[in-house]
Amino acid sequence: MVTVETEIWIEAPIEACFDLARNIDVHTRTVWRHTKEKAVAGTTNGLIEGGETVTFEATHFLIRQRLTSRISEFRAPFYFVDEMQRGAFKSLRHEHHFEAVQGKTLMSDKLTFSAPLGWLGLIVERAVLKRYMKRFLEHRNEQLRLLAEEGGGRYEGGR
């Protein structure tokens, strides 16, 4: 099992950052373009809520994959968790934390995952996936920061 943690300061209100982070339209716009990620089932656009699911289809490592996640914990605007229900990982839990500090927001992620395939999966986790997933999160978080700050914390898409 591997844990990846990131954090980023955003000059926007906590509520705006929280909503951007759970907006499916924003999610598909802020991931790496080469993955061609799209929402194909469950909540496929707008703001995802506690208890709801979404299935994303994307290409990673030249393989087209589907991953279904459920929002298992939800405490607006401070925290939500998505957990894999089906997908390529043995397990995946992504905690999203938001803290308001003097008009800014500290957004942090804690992603815990394990790969399938026993000892081979353990090697891949540490040799490849940990760095890949950290870069993936950092890229997405920087894109969220840009959207939040350029839009004054507002995003017009979604519900």
pLDDT in tens, 114-152: 888 777 666 677 777 899 899 999 999 999 999 999 875
Q: At residue 154, does pLDDT exceed 60?
A: no
Q: What is the pLDDT of residue 59?
A: 80
Q: Any idea what the CATH number is for the domain that residue 123 is in?
A: 3.30.530.20
Percent of the chain with pLDDT over 90: 69
Q: At residue 37, does pLDDT exceed 90?
A: no
Does any domain span residue 26?
A: yes
Does any domain span residue 158?
A: no
Does any domain span residue 156?
A: no
Give the chain's domain count.
1
CA pair distance 89, 42, nearest whole angstrom: 19
Give the tens place of pLDDT for each residue, 84-115.
Answer: 999 988 999 999 999 999 999 999 999 999 88
Count the alpha carbons within 13 Å of 156 in the hemisphere toward its beta carbon.
Answer: 2
Residue 80 CB-density burial (10 A; 0-12 exposed, 13-18 middle, 19+ buried): buried
Does any domain span residue 133?
A: yes
Does any domain span residue 155?
A: no
Does any domain span residue 157?
A: no
| Beta-sheet strands, E only, within the chain | 2-10, 38-42, 53-60, 63-75, 79-86, 91-101, 104-114
Does any domain span residue 116?
A: yes
Does any domain span residue 120?
A: yes
pTM (2 d.p.): 0.88
Domain of residue 79 covers: 2-150
CA pair distance 89, 143, nearest whole angstrom: 25
